[in-house]
Amino acid sequence: MERQSLTEKVFLHVAALLLAAVILAPVLWLFVMSISPAADLSAKPLNWWPSSVDLSRYVTLLSRVENSAGAVVTSSLANSLIVAGMATIAAIVVAVPAGWAVSRTPSVGWSLNAVVATYMLPPVALAVPLYMGLAHLGMLNSVFSLALVYLTILAPFTTWLMKSGFDGIPKEIEAAAMIDGANLWQTLRIVTLPLALPTIATAILFAFLLAWDEFFYALLFTSDLRSKTLTVAIADIAGGRVSDYGMIATAGVIAALPPVFIGLLMQRALISGLTSGGVKG
Amino acid sequence: MSSTWLTTRAWLLMLPLLAVMVGVIGWPLAETVRLSFTDAKLVGTGGDYVGFANYTKMLSGSAFQKTLYATLWFALASVAIEMVVGVLTALLLNQQFYGRTVLRALMILPWALPTVVNATLWRLIYNPEYGAANAALTQIGLIDTYRSWLGEPDSAMWAIILADVWKNFPLVTLIALAALQAVPRDTIAASLVDGAGPLRRFRYVTLPHLAGPLMVALVLRTIEAFKVFDIIWIMTRGGPANTTRTLSILVYQEGFSFQRAGSGASLALIVTLIVSLLALAYGGLLRKTAGSMD
* Mutation to test the B interface, candidates A275, A279, A280, most B Cβ within 10 Å: A275
Mutation site, B120, B125, B237, B248, interface A, largest A CB count within 10 A: B120
Mean pLDDT of B189-215: 82
Task: Please state, in angstroms and as integers, the Cα–Cα distance from residue A163 to each residue in A85, B1, B85, B107, following that order.
Answer: 22, 22, 32, 28
pLDDT at B294: 39
Closest residue of chain A to B119, computed from CA coordinates: A235
Q: Are B268 and A130 in contact (CB under 8 A)?
A: no
Question: Quick check: A145 and A193 in contact, CB under 8 A?
Answer: no
Nearest Cβ partner for A13 among B7, B97, B223: B97
The mean pLDDT value for B118-131 works out to 93
Other CB atoms within a 10 A radius of the CB of residue B73 amount to: 16
pLDDT at A119 over 60: yes
Q: Does the structure show a pLDDT above 80 at A242?
A: no
pLDDT of the residue at A279: 40
How far apart CA A110 and CA A120 sit, in angstroms, is 16
Domains, chain B, in order of start with CATH, read 60-293 (1.10.3720.10)
Give CA–CA dist A202/A170, Å, rounded: 19
How far is Cα B123 from Cα B160, in angstroms, rounded to an integer? 9
Radius of gyration for the alpha carbons in chain A, expressed in angstroms and rounded = 23
Helical H segments across B182-203, by residue range = 185-193, 198-201
Give mean pLDDT, residues B228-257.
Answer: 94
Q: Give the helix/strand (H/E) hosting B211.
A: helix B207-226
Shortest distance, CA B10 to any CA of chain A (angstroms): 5
**In Å, how far are A33, A54, B143, B222 from A40, measured between CA atoms?**
9, 11, 22, 40
B133 Cα distance to chain centroid = 25
Q: Which of B25, B29, B145, B174 has the highest number of chain A CBs within 10 A, making it the mutation to test binding with A?
A: B25
Please, what is the average pLDDT of chain A? 89
Helix axis angle, A109-117 relative to A143-167, nearest 10°?
140
Q: Are residues A249 and B121 in contact, defined by beta-carbon separation less than 8 angstroms?
A: yes
Residues of B in contact with A30 (CB under 8 A): 117, 121, 124
Reference A165, options A114, A96, A116, A105; nearest CA is A96
Amino acid (1-letter code) at residue B250:
L
Q: Check pLDDT > 80 for residue B1.
A: no
Query: What is the amino acid identity at position B254?
Result: E
Reply yes or no on whether the pLDDT at B173 is more than 70: yes
Calculate mean pLDDT across residues B73-82: 97
- List the end-to-end C-alpha distance of chain A, in Å, as a whole number: 33
With cut-offs at 50, 70 and 90, classify the pLDDT of residue B182: confident
The span from the CA of A146 to the CA of A230, in Å, is 13
> Contact B35/B261 with Cβ under 8 angstroms?
yes
SS3 B49: strand
CA atoms within 13 A on the CB side of A260: 20
Q: So what's the pLDDT on residue A280?
A: 38
**B233/A219 Cβ within 8 A:** yes
Asked whether the predicted pLDDT for residue A73 surpasses 50, the reply is: yes
Cα A76 to the center of its chain, rounded Å: 15
pLDDT computed for residue B125 by the predictor: 95
Percent of chain B surpassing pLDDT 70? 97
Provide the angle, in degrees to the nearest 10, between the axes of the packed helices B261-293 and A124-136. 140
Q: What is the pLDDT of residues A120-150, one digit of tens each?
A: 889 999 999 999 999 999 999 999 999 999 9
Other beta carbons within 10 angstroms of residue B287's beta carbon come to: 11
Cα gap A225→B252, rounded to integer Å: 23
pLDDT-wise least confident of A63-72, A255-264, B160-169, B284-293: B284-293
- Give the per-residue pLDDT at A276: 64
Closest CA to B165 of B70, B76, B79, B72: B79
Quickly name the fold that domain A64-275 has: MetI-like fold (1.10.3720)
Residue B293 confidence (pLDDT): 47
Contact yes or no for B218/B83 (Cβ under 8 A):
yes
Q: Is the pLDDT of residue B167 over 60?
A: yes
ω before A123 within 30° of 0 (cis)?
Answer: no
Q: Is the dihedral of CA A178, A183, A188, A194 positive or negative?
A: negative
Q: Is B152 helix (H, G, I), strand (E, B) or coil?
A: coil
pTM above the 0.90 mark? yes
CA-to-CA distance for B267 and B250, rounded, in angstroms?
8
The pLDDT of A93-102, averaged and rounded, is 95
Per DSSP, the three-state class of A45 is coil
Q: Which of B32, B224, B256 sits opposite A126 (nearest CB)?
A: B32
A95, A87 Cβ separation under 8 angstroms: no
| Spans of all domains in chain A | 1-54, 64-275
A105 contact partners, CB below 8 Å, separation of at least 6: B6, B7, B9, B10
pLDDT of residue B291: 56
Residue A114 to residue B218: CA distance in whole angstroms: 21
Question: Would you place residue A278 in the very low, low, confident or very high pLDDT band (cuts 50, 70, 90)?
Answer: very low
Are A159 and B223 in contact (CB < 8 Å)? no
Q: Give ipTM to 2 decimals.
A: 0.92
- Each residue of A154-191: pLDDT tens digit? 999 999 999 989 998 998 889 898 898 888 889 999 99
